[in-house]
Amino acid sequence: MPPPVPITVRYRFRASSAAEARAHADALLVEQTVETPPVVSQRYPYVREHLMGSVAQVEDLGEGHFHAHLVLPEGLAQTDTAQLLNVVFGNASIHAGLVLDGLDLPESLLVGRGPRHGLAGLRALCDVPSGPLVASALKPAGLSPDEIAALAFGFGLGGLDLVKDDHYLADHAFAPLDARVRAVVEALDRAADRTGRRTRYAPNLSGSPGEVFRQADVAQRLGADAVMVAPMLVGLPTTAELVRAHLSVPLLAHPSFSGMNVASEVLLGQLFPLVGADAVIFAGYGGRFSVDPEACRALARRIRAPFDGMTGAMPVPAGGMTVERAAELTAFYGPDTMLLVGGSLLAADTPGDPTALADATRALRLAARPTGC
């Protein structure tokens, strides 16, 4: 049996010498634990014995970059999700130029957390046992429920696996959540009657906790197959409570407002699944965001295996993906991927005639899964 994993964080920072880097690592350990001078923390036996943590290693990466590997006290993080984030990167996040780019958690902190459906659950929901999945978005914000449903009908006819709301769709007067969900579910059912295959729908939830929980109830009651939230907008602990207490359907996580000094592989690849995301949308290589291809591939791998023993989530590259590049991109990311294509499909739409959008959708699906299914 492998030894138990402690909380281990890896911080990247610059320093002018190995000695300075070591001093910085020591200071960061204090920052993330007792946050008092040694003369104070050493007075208290329980603190001294259980809550000091340690600097496991300071690694010279060359060219003035260093990695500090800290072991942090499990007992300090055990109460709740907010506190877990606090211990992992609370005050350290305020230090300019510091990045959290590695994280390990002990099993005690994984219990009751993580995706409930995960990658396999998404596959089952969409009835795609193998090969990449394809998804799209209902947008722009400002469309009426009928206009949104018309798009959904085209996607449904084309056999799209999953369609989600644009992340700018909240509970607006121009398209209230309940009217939107009713209209889209009806449109997808109608399309399925013709095709024999049902596109799945994930409406977007937004608001303060009470409102998000209410919207989750409404969406599920009206037939949503999954829901989407942006964990950094609503808060990671809110997302955790949503998943644990209010959701039976899978959760898609959107990356809005996630520009933190935490590496994507940790924030989206580990922390989003930790609070229960079954699928994680990210700005993917091959679109309009400047992102490194290998970093994207590593992020996708991490989403599928966030922590040892945790159910993997579905990686969902997005942000300017196109039908034309679908084959190349699904080859790049591998089959355990949901490709999210928005504008490129919607540009093919002809309002009033669902067949144009259906044809583009079908082309996307065939590009991603040439053998059909």
| Candidate residues 17, 19, 36, 221; the one interacting with a second copy per rule CB under 8 A | 36
Site stretch for a second copy (CB under 8 A), options 156-164, 182-190, 207-215, 359-367: 207-215
4 preceded by a cis bond (ω within 30 of 0): no
Smallest distance from a second copy to CB 43, Å: 6
* Tokens at 179, concatenated: 């009217």
Question: Judged by CB, which is closer to a second copy: 170, or 305?
Answer: 170
- 225 near 249, Cβ under 8 Å? yes
What mask of x and - would describe binding to a second copy in positions 303 to 322, judged by CB under 8 A? ----------------x---
Question: Judged by CB, which is closer to a second copy: 194, or 288?
Answer: 288
Report DSSP state, residue 352.
Answer: T
Interface with a second copy in residues 237-296 (CB under 8 A): 237-238, 240-241, 244-245, 255-262, 283, 288-291
Binding of residue 110 to a second copy (CB under 8 A) = no
Binding of residue 221 to a second copy (CB under 8 A) = no
Question: Judged by CB, which is closer to a second copy: 62, or 210?
Answer: 210
Calculated CA dihedral for residues 167, 171, 175, 177, nearest 10 degrees: 90
Question: Judged by CB, which is closer to a second copy: 81, or 330?
Answer: 81
Interface with a second copy in residues 163-182 (CB under 8 A): 166-168, 170-172, 174
Smallest distance from a second copy to CB 2, Å: 27
Q: HSE on the CB side for 176, CA within 13 Å?
A: 6
Interface with a second copy in residues 146-165 (CB under 8 A): 147
Instruction: Quickly tell me which residue has 């506190």 as its tokens.
Output: 83
* Tokens at 7, concatenated: 């909380």
* Tokens at 339, concatenated: 């490709």
| Closest C-alpha to 256, from 306, 326, 210, 205 | 205
- 226 near 217, Cβ under 8 Å? no
* Orientation angle between helical segments 145-157 and 177-195, nearest 10 degrees: 30
Site stretch for a second copy (CB under 8 A), options 14-22, 37-45, 114-122, 362-370: 37-45
Q: Give me the count of residues in the chain.
A: 373
Binding of residue 298 to a second copy (CB under 8 A) = no
- 274 near 302, Cβ under 8 Å? no
Sign of CA dihedral 222, 121, 228, 361: negative
Question: Judged by CB, which is closer to a second copy: 166, or 189?
Answer: 166
Question: Judged by CB, which is closer to a second copy: 42, or 130?
Answer: 42
**Distance from C-alpha of 325 to C-alpha of 81, rounded to nearest angstrom:** 39
**Distance from C-alpha of 115 to C-alpha of 139, rounded to nearest angstrom:** 27
Smallest distance from a second copy to CB 336, Å: 23
Degrees to nearest 5, angle at CA 47 with 41 and 51: 110
* Tokens at 139, concatenated: 């947008």
Interface with a second copy in residues 68-97 (CB under 8 A): 75-76, 78-83, 85-87, 89-96
Question: Judged by CB, which is closer to a second copy: 142, or 334?
Answer: 142
Smallest distance from a second copy to CB 339, Å: 17
Smallest distance from a second copy to CB 127, Å: 28
Site stretch for a second copy (CB under 8 A), options 9-17, 45-53, 127-135, 296-304: 45-53
Binding of residue 54 to a second copy (CB under 8 A) = no
**Distance from C-alpha of 112 to C-alpha of 366, rounded to nearest angstrom:** 38
Interface with a second copy in residues 328-357 (CB under 8 A): 342-343, 346-347, 349, 351
**Distance from C-alpha of 31 to C-alpha of 89, rounded to nearest angstrom:** 10
Question: Judged by CB, which is closer to a second copy: 94, or 373?
Answer: 94
Interface with a second copy in residues 177-206 (CB under 8 A): 206
**Distance from C-alpha of 240 to C-alpha of 83, rounded to nearest angstrom:** 13
- 165 near 202, Cβ under 8 Å? yes
Binding of residue 40 to a second copy (CB under 8 A) = yes
